[in-house]
């Protein structure tokens, strides 16, 4: 400060430290990784289709290129009708959960938050369990009752949490977290009861709770992908609000963020993305918690960088986890994300220079 | 002098208890005003009202003739910069990332910081003298260092009105004086209007040409330090021996 005038007289201070090229390099690396895991995800499985044929089928059907047909119709069916929608669904769900994770962590200013923290998981699970118990079989937009009630349950639970939290006094953030916990516990009791009553349907409920992509199809992808894509883009356009909230609600208001409105909008968008993801894939844990943290450890907390890079990482992680799950023999993908992700996350936390404060 | 900031019969109540009672105050563009008074006098509440964060029970706050309630948050943030209370940061955040948040009201909604924002951030860092802290996680800094980083953030916000609530509370003597010098410099060079709550009457009297003394939510005195801080008032309002602050008025 004492040198203020000297500085003023000279050239403007260099701001090189603010102009890191690293995010661009990381984004490029993320895209390359995603393409690699995408091709691997389509090529590998219980029936391996050679990379050359896989690429040929993709080029032919996806890009409309006239390439010599070296593959069998069976291979084309496997790649085009089974694997491609499955891999794309995993990518979409990975994006949705990662973006929702960044949003919930930023909104609640809590590193432990994940897409399921405000009741979406328990709401979806209870909805799915009720669908299993009900003697009704219906199909809406190519989804069964289980998927539909999971979607509705997730949104209903988070709406309830938001309404209840707004009635309480005191800090909104703490109020939301505690209400989410209370409502989640209540719904978990309902889920336990439903599972107890479900009899032969228990395995179906359990499969939903562990998550997976076996039931993917083009039609289901066509319903879920636009919802996740649109909500993710709209969240990305509100990165400024998430950045303001880094310093707390009052400071965010001083920096021009209409906290009450932005919180409601971001909460709604992130909940929609989560509900859509959960409805198609069940409760795949960990990706929504870990991807944002891994990205933050590398590029810092700015939502402008964390949102897109987490989306890329979440997509890659989910496709990779699903691939592993298939190769091991159709085990639930949630088991893979936890088994692989948790140790990786612990190593990263130990290596990062500073820990987390709660 | 045109009234830049006008409080008109402002009353603010928290749960029915008035914290600010019927305060009328005009602050012209480019003025430097210190709010002084005992704990619970309503100083911080008044600042929150000027930043548009509390709804008045009666009366109004006007920025350049416009009621602050009718301006959007972004419009207020471009006109009024506030040094916030020390926050608990949820994630590792470097010093430069904190200072960069000062540009939030100005940055491009999609592309973010432009080159001009970056040079303003760099300048704020140099001006407040926190360049040696760059690259460090703001959560690992001392309270005083964090206070300076937040001041740099508010300087980067570059609003015509700068509001500070106890900006020197965690600072050593040298940094207290440097912050006061910086405020005077912002005032002299950029014409920034400064409104600060200060507990240290000597600091307030030495560095601010105008003092507003609050007690029990009302303005008790308003004017030059020597007028406002008379021995009788110091005894009545603060309940201490005026000799303790005699240096200020000497």
Cβ B181–A1 below 8 Å, yes or no? Answer: yes
Pick from A255, A302, A353: CB nearest B97: A302
* Cα–Cα distance measured from residue A285 to residue A124, given in angstroms and rounded to the nearest whole number: 13
Residue B185: closest CA among chain A residues belongs to which residue? Answer: A4
Contact criterion met (CB below 8 Å) for A171 and A149: no
Annotated domain spans of chain B:
3-85+158-249
pLDDT at A171: 60
* Separation in Å, CA A250 to CA A47, B82, B144, B200, B239: 57, 10, 20, 25, 33
A/B interface, count of CB pairs below 8 Å:
142
Separation CA A308–CA A300 (nearest Å):
13
According to the model, what pLDDT value does residue A287 have? 92
CB contact under 8 Å between B121 and A253, yes or no, is no
Q: To the nearest whole percent, how much of chain A has pLDDT over 70?
A: 90
Give CA–CA dist A13/A7, Å, rounded. Answer: 8
pLDDT tens per residue across span A250-286: 999 999 999 989 999 999 999 999 999 998 998 998 8
HSE, side-chain direction, 13 A CA sphere, residue A87:
24
The answer to whether the beta carbons of residues A104 and A291 sit under 8 Å apart is: no
Instruction: Measure the CA–CA gap between A336 and A316, rounded to whole angstroms.
Output: 14
Q: What is the pLDDT of residues A278-322, one digit of tens each?
A: 989 989 988 999 999 989 888 889 999 999 999 999 999 999 999
- Quote the pLDDT of residue A138: 74
Query: Which among A1, A240, A247 has CB closest to B87?
Result: A247
| Closest C-alpha to A173, from A71, A123, A247 | A247
Find the CB nearest A256 among B77, B119, B179: B77
Contact status, residue B138 vs residue B146, Cβ threshold 8 Å:
yes
Mutate to test the interface with A, among B82, B91, B103 (most CBs of A within 10 A): B91
> How many other C-beta atoms are found inside a 10 Å radius of the C-beta of residue A5?
10
Contact yes or no for A1 and B157 at CB 8 A: no
Which residues of B fall within a CB distance of 8 Å from A15?
118-119, 121-122
Radius of gyration of chain A (CA): 22
Q: What is the pLDDT of residues A198-223, one digit of tens each?
A: 888 888 888 888 888 988 899 889 98
- CB within 8 Å: A255 and B157: yes
Which A positions 259-298 lie with beta carbon below 8 A of chain B? 296-297
The pLDDT of residue A351 is: 65
Residue A13 touches partner B, C-beta closer than 8 Å = yes
Name the residue facing A254 among B51, B137, B179 (closest C-beta).
B51
According to the model, what pLDDT value does residue A205 have?
A: 87
**Are residues B119 and A111, on separate chains, in Cβ contact within 8 Å?**
no
Order of strands, sheet of B58-63, starting from the edge strand that comes earlier in the sequence: B17-28, B3-14, B58-63, B66-67
How far is residue B18's CA from residue B217's CA, in Å, rounded to a whole number? 7
**Chain B touched by A256 (CB under 8 Å):** yes
How many CB atoms are located within 10 Å of the residue A55 CB?
A: 16
* Residue B81 confidence (pLDDT): 94
Cα A309 to Cα A325: distance, rounded to the nearest angstrom: 24
Which among B51, B97, B122 is the nearest to A300, CB-wise? B97
B94 vs B133: CA distance, rounded Å: 9
Residue A307 pLDDT:
96
Count CB neighbours of A307 within 10 A.
24
pLDDT at B16: 80
Output the average pLDDT for chain A. 85
Of all residues in chain B, the one with the smallest CA distance to A109 is B90
CA gap B100, A155 in Å, rounded:
35
> Which portions of chain B are predicted below pLDDT 70?
1-3, 246-250
Token representation of residue A133: 């118990």
CB contact under 8 A, B96 and A352: no
The H or E element that residue A176 is part of is helix A172-197
| CA dist B91 → A200, B56, B132, B232 (Å) | 45, 35, 21, 50
> What angle, 0 to 180 degrees and rounded to 10, lies between the N-to-C axes of helices A287-299 and A84-108?
70
Residue-level pLDDT at A169: 54
pLDDT by residue (tens digit) across A54-80?
A: 888 888 888 888 888 888 888 888 888
Q: What is the pLDDT of residues A312-324, one digit of tens each?
A: 999 999 999 999 9
pLDDT for res A97: 95
Bigger pLDDT: A111 or B213? B213
Assigned CATH topology for domain B3-85+158-249 = Rossmann fold (3.40.50)
Instruction: Say whether pLDDT at A89 is over 60.
Output: yes
pLDDT at B84 (0 to 100): 87
Between β-strands B3-14 and A143-144, what pairing exists: parallel, antiparallel or unpaired? unpaired
Interface of A with B in 31-90 (CB under 8 A): none
Spatial separation of the C-alpha atoms in residues A300 and B238, rounded to whole Å: 46
A239 vs B120: CA distance, rounded Å: 21
| Predicted pLDDT of residue B129 | 93
Q: What is the predicted pLDDT for the residue at B60?
A: 92
Q: Does domain A89-348 have CATH number 1.10.3470.10?
A: yes
Considering only CA atoms, which of B117, B96, B121, B122 is closest in space to residue B106? B117
Q: Which residues of B touch A297 (CB under 8 A)?
A: 92
Interface test with B, best of A235, A243, A256, A348 (most B CBs within 10 A): A256
Contact state of B88 with A357 under an 8 Å Cβ cutoff: yes
Q: What share of chain B is helix, strand, coil (3-state, %, to 5)?
A: 40, 25, 30
Q: How close A263 comes to chain B (CA, Å)? A: 14
pTM of this prediction?
A: 0.89
CA–CA dist B249, A233 (Å, integer): 60
- Which helix (H) or strand (E) is B228 found in, with range? helix B225-228
Residue A166 three-state SS: helix
A348 contacts on B by Cβ (under 8 Å): none
With both helix axes pointing from N to C terminus, report the angle between A145-167 and A259-281 in degrees, rounded to the nearest 10.
160
Q: Which residues in chain A have their CB less than 8 angstroms from residue B87's CB?
A: 246-248, 251
């Amino acid at each position: 400060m004492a040198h203020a005038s000297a500085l003023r007289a000279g050239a403007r201070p260099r701001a090189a430290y603010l102009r890191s090229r690293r995010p661009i390099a990381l984004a490029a690396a993320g895209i390359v990784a995603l393409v690699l895991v995408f091709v691997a995800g389509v090529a590998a499985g219980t029936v391996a289709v050679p990379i050359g044929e896989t690429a040929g089928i993709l080029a032919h059907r996806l890009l409309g290129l006239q390439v010599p047909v070296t593959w069998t119709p069976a291979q084309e069916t496997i790649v085009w009708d089974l694997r491609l929608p499955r891999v794309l669904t995993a990518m979409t769900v990975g994006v949705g959960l990662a973006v929702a994770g960044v949003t919930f962590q930023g909104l609640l200013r809590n590193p432990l938050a994940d897409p399921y923290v405000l009741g979406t998981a328990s709401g979806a699970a209870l909805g799915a369990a009720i669908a299993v118990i009900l003697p009704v079989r219906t199909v809406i937009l190519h989804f069964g009752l289980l998927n539909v009630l999971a979607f509705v349950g997730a949104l209903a639970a988070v709406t309830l949490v938001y309404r209840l939290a707004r009635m309480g006094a005191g800090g909104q953030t703490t109020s939301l977290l505690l209400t989410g916990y209370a409502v989640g516990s209540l719904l978990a009791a309902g889920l336990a009861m439903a599972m107890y009553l479900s009899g032969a349907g228990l395995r179906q409920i359990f499969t939903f709770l562990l998550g997976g992509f076996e039931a993917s199809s083009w039609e289901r992808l066509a319903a879920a992908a636009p919802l996740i894509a649109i909500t993710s883009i709209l969240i990305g356009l509100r990165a400024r609000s998430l950045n303001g909230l880094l310093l707390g609600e009052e400071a965010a208001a001083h920096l021009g963020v209409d906290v009450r409105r932005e919180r409601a909008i971001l909460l709604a968008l992130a909940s929609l993305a989560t509900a859509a993801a959960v409805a198609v894939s069940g409760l795949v844990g960990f990706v929504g918690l870990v991807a944002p943290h891994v990205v933050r450890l590398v590029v810092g907390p700015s939502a402008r960088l964390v949102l897109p890079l987490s989306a890329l990482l979440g997509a890659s992680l989910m496709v990779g986890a699903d691939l592993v799950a298939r190769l091991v023999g159709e085990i639930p993908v949630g088991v893979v994300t936890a088994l692989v992700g948790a140790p990786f996350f612990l190593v990263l936390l130990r290596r990062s220079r500073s820990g987390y404060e709660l | 002098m045109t009234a830049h900031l006008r409080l008109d019969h402002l009353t603010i109540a928290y749960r029915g208890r008035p914290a600010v009672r019927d305060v009328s105050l005009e602050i012209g563009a480019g003025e430097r005003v210190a709010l002084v008074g005992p704990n619970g006098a309503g100083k911080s509440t008044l600042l929150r009202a000027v930043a548009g964060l509390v709804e008045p029970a009666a009366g109004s706050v006007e920025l350049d003739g416009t009621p602050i309630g009718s301006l959007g948050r972004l419009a207020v943030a471009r006109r009024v910069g506030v040094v916030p209370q020390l926050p608990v940061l949820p994630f590792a955040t470097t010093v430069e990332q904190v200072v960069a948040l000062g540009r939030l009201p100005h940055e491009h909604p999609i592309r973010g910081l432009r080159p001009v924002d970056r040079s303003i951030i760099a300048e704020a860092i140099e001006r407040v003298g926190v360049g040696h802290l760059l690259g460090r996680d703001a959560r690992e800094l001392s309270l005083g260092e964090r206070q300076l980083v937040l001041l740099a953030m508010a300087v980067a916000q570059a609003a015509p009105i700068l509001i500070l609530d106890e900006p020197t509370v965690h600072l050593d003597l040298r940094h207290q004086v440097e912050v006061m010098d910086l405020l005077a410099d912002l005032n002299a060079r950029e014409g920034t209007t400064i409104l600060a709550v200060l507990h240290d009457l000597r600091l307030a009297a030495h560095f601010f040409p105008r003092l507003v003394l609050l007690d029990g939510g009302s303005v008790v005195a308003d004017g030059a330090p020597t007028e406002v801080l008379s021995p009788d008032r110091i005894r009545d309002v603060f309940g201490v021996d005026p000799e303790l602050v005699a240096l200020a008025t000497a």
